[in-house]
Structure 1
Amino acid sequence: MQRKKEFITEEIKELINEVARVTASMAYIENAGGQINYFRAMESLLYNYKKLETLVADEEEYTKVELKERSKSIVVFSPSAGGERKTRDEVLEEMEKQRAILYQRTKARFDEVDRVVQLFKDRKEFHVIRMYYFGEDAKGNQREAGAPQYTWEDIASELSEMGLIRDAKSARRWRNKIVNDMAVCLFGKPAAVGVGTYRKKQEE
């Protein structure tokens, strides 16, 4: 049982590092001026949606802090605090508070993306999102770890058997449509302008 716990802890640590990059990118998108590729930004969030979901599922595991030390009686000096002495427990408490703040920020980011995902999950095009970004099959079942990513031909084949599409070109068109629509819901007016420009070019 202990061995399983250690595995989960290492997995969570890896997810924290990876998701931190994603949420930082999202914050940049929200505050940056100039041209932003909202389609690519939405894709990045969809690729990492399952990782975000796993990460925020266990707040206790996320906020747990491990402090490596040679002795349990370790005392930490903080020059920035005027030489104040801090015990191991005080240091751990501060680190846990910071991790809790980070968790709340990450959870808020996930909730924003999740609301959009839930809004679109009943659309027929969502099959492509499941297969291309989430690592699921056409019916929404999670595929085995390490399974190769679907190609557009694979996606078209499975969805064709369900009577939904005919070819890979149709699958890509579905992807473009739903990802653009999701980007508009998440990022608002700037993304809507970008999508409008993109669709106009497609029609010309």
Structure 2
Amino acid sequence: MTKKQTELSEELREAVFEAARAGAAEAYTQNTGYVNYFKAMETLLYNYKKLAALVADEEAYCEVEYHAGRKTFSTTPQAKGFIQRKTEAEIVEEMREEKQKQFKETKSGFDSLTRAISLFEGHKEFVVIRLYYFGEDINGNPREGGTATWEEITEELSDAGILKEIKTARRWRNKIVNDMAVCVFGIPAAVSAATYRKAVDK
């Protein structure tokens, strides 16, 4: 095979890969609408500590406040011309059951998120997650003043000999958040991240 043929085949291969990536991304966005998985993952990370506190106390989560005087009529006729009135106890029990259902769903989602995050705790980039989203220091302890600015992050990591530039810290953040999003949201997030990274590379 000549050099010209080799170059042509490499260009063709790249064109095919690019078309496949673009086609996958377009098909996904047309079918389900555009979702920014990076931003979605950021929202989960920003609220992770609040979610942890929320699911730590099931009893408090499921506590029901009943206000007397609210409408207490069933929507199902029990007899001709008669609608059965529910007791306060029945209403409170229904509200408690709904709260318990919500708690189980929230706890299940939180546990899945925790498992995904734990996969990255040993990565060098995770220190940025601690500082920028969790309000922790580089060792995972609560940080005075909460979450850090990029300037503060860079200063702390530079003092620790980890990195020196804001650009590096942000690049680490982008990489690890995209990778976490793939673990949390699956294939659609992978397509979105690949498309984004290709655009940035250009």
TM-score computed with the length of structure 1 as normaliser? 0.76
Rounded Cα–Cα distance in structure 1 between residues aligned with 2:196 and 2:91 = 52
Report the secondary structure of 1:97's partner residue: helix
Q: Give yes or no for contact 1:50–1:134 (8 Å, CA) kept in 2.
A: yes
Report the secondary structure of 1:80's partner residue: strand
2:192 alignment partner in structure 1: 194
1:179 alignment partner in structure 2: 177
1:81 alignment partner in structure 2: 76
Rounded Cα–Cα distance in structure 2 between residues aligned with 1:111 and 1:149 = 23
% identical aligned pairs? 53
Q: Give yes or no for contact 2:130–2:138 (8 Å, CA) kept in 1.
A: yes
2:54 alignment partner in structure 1: 55
Structure with more contact order per residue of length (Cα contacts < 8 Å, sep ≥ 6) = 2
Alignment of 1:107-122 (within 5 A): 107-122=107-122
Q: Give yes or no for contact 2:55–2:106 (8 Å, CA) kept in 1.
A: yes
Shift in Å, 1:162: 1.6
Kindly tell me the number of residue pairs found equivalent between the two proteins: 167
Larger radius of gyration: 2
Shift in Å, 1:89: 1.5
> Residues 77 and 176 of structure 1: is their aligned pair in 2 closer, same or farther, counting only changes over 3 Å?
closer
Question: CA RMSD of the aligned region, Å?
Answer: 1.8
Q: Give yes or no for contact 2:37–2:189 (8 Å, CA) kept in 1.
A: yes
Question: Residue type matched to 1:155 in 2?
Answer: I
Q: Give yes or no for contact 1:77–1:84 (8 Å, CA) kept in 2.
A: no
> Residues 61 and 199 of structure 1: is their aligned pair in 2 closer, same or farther, counting only changes over 3 Å?
same
Q: Give yes or no for contact 1:76–1:85 (8 Å, CA) kept in 2.
A: no
Shift in Å, 1:51: 0.9
Detail structure 1 runs of 4+ shifted over 2 Å in the superposition: 201-204
Alignment of 1:121-160 (within 5 A): 121-144=121-144, 147=145, 149-160=147-158
Rounded Cα–Cα distance in structure 2 between residues aligned with 1:77 and 1:56 = 30
Q: Please give the per-residue CA displacement for 1:128-181, whole angstroms capped at 9, x wherever unaligned.
A: 11111111112211134xx26411110011111221111111110100000010
Report the secondary structure of 2:72's partner residue: strand
TM-score computed with the length of structure 2 as normaliser? 0.77
> Residues 41 and 134 of structure 1: is their aligned pair in 2 closer, same or farther, counting only changes over 3 Å?
same
Q: Give yes or no for contact 1:76–1:86 (8 Å, CA) kept in 2.
A: no
Shift in Å, 1:91: 1.4
